[in-house]
Amino acid sequence: MRREVIIGYSKHDILDIRRDYPCVVESIFKQKSKKVGEYGARFINSLTSDYYGRTYLLESDKLVLLLIEIFINEVVICKVYFDHIKKGDTVVRRNCLGALQKLSLRKKPQFIMIEKDIIKWILHTLKYEKNSLGEYFYEYATALLMNLSLRAAGKKKCEEAEVIKKLIEL
């Protein structure tokens, strides 16, 4: 039943993935309501758990780019929209990380994430926010690092960022 629903979403392009900007996903995250962003991130993360969901979401590169932007800028977004800074684990950040990790099972999103220096950003977050991160963040961040390191470009970025040394320090 779940797969049929996901196929229906894809068939009817419920998130406007196939359309040029702005897509529904972008407008979800630009809402002032914190809950809308949280539920949107949860929805995207749950779609990426299924093969057909990942296939649908990857019909355009814009979702991967948007998730990277939201994931990296979550602290800034909280300050701008909700007038506070919350470091560490937020629901949006956690679900964007989960979605990115699941999307990193495919070649094209891997290259996009490597190009956008997600490896360096994850290491920075693990180093400077380690006391405020939950187990989910650590598990998905390390799984994402592993997936990205499977590509030659990812290996090069990992060597440049001294990933092994920094992970051992943690």
Q: At what angle do helices 34-47 and 91-103 cross, to 10 degrees?
A: 20
Domain count, the chain: 1
In Å, how far from its chain's centre is CA 120? 14
Residue 35's domain is classified under what CATH number? Answer: 1.25.10.10
Of the candidates 29, 108, 19, 126, the one whose C-alpha atom is nearest the C-alpha of residue 61 is: 108
| pLDDT at residue 77, rounded to an integer | 45
CA torsion sign, 89 to 28 to 2 to 59? negative
| pLDDT at residue 129, rounded to an integer | 84
Which of 34-48, 67-81, 91-105 is the least confident region? 67-81
State what percent of residues in the chain have pLDDT above 70: 91
Pick left, alpha or beta for residue 38 (phi over 0 → left; psi -120 to 50 → alpha; otherwise beta). alpha
Quote the domain boundaries for residue 125.
Answer: 2-169
Q: How confident is the model at residue 126 (pLDDT cuts 50, 70, 90)?
A: confident
